């Protein structure tokens, strides 16, 4: 049975900011393609929730996965509820660690 992906309310803003960042630099076609890659990675977490690297030193049970070459997806997994909580998504060196701490 696949896990459920739940997003922090600010993840929508994260994706919009990534779209604007890439769109203004490299064009909105590329931005849309990168967002699609990120969304595919998010969907793949439903079947493979434990991918990525553990980063407990930043936040308890935090995992990170790389997507679309420069995106960092930060999430936690709850095996009891079979859910994945997306804490934040950053791109191209944005300070994802600070975002995790702010949202955690």
Using one digit for the tens of pLDDT, what is the confidence trace for 17-72? Answer: 999 999 999 999 999 999 999 999 999 999 999 999 999 999 999 999 999 999 99
Single pTM value for the model: 0.95
Note the pLDDT of residue 16. Answer: 98
Could you tell me which residues come within 8 angstroms of residue 77 by beta carbon, excluding any fewer than 6 positions away? 3, 49, 50, 61, 63, 83, 84, 85
In DSSP terms, which residues pair with 6 in a beta bridge? 85
Q: Does residue 104 register a pLDDT over 90?
A: no
> Domain spanning 4-103: which superfamily?
RelE-like (3.30.2310.20)
Higher pLDDT, 53 or 1: 53
């Amino acid at each position: 049975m696949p896990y459920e992906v739940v997003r922090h309310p600010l993840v929508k803003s994260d994706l919009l900011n990534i779209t604007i960042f890439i769109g203004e630099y490299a064009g909105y076609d590329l931005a849309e393609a990168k967002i699609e890659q990120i969304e595919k990675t998010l969907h793949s977490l439903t079947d493979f929730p434990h991918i990525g690297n553990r980063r407990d030193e930043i936040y308890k049970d935090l995992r990170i996965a790389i997507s679309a070459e420069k995106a960092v997806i930060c999430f936690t997994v709850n095996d009891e509820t079979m859910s994945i909580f997306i804490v934040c998504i950053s791109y191209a060196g944005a300070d994802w660690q600070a975002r995790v701490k702010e949202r955690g």
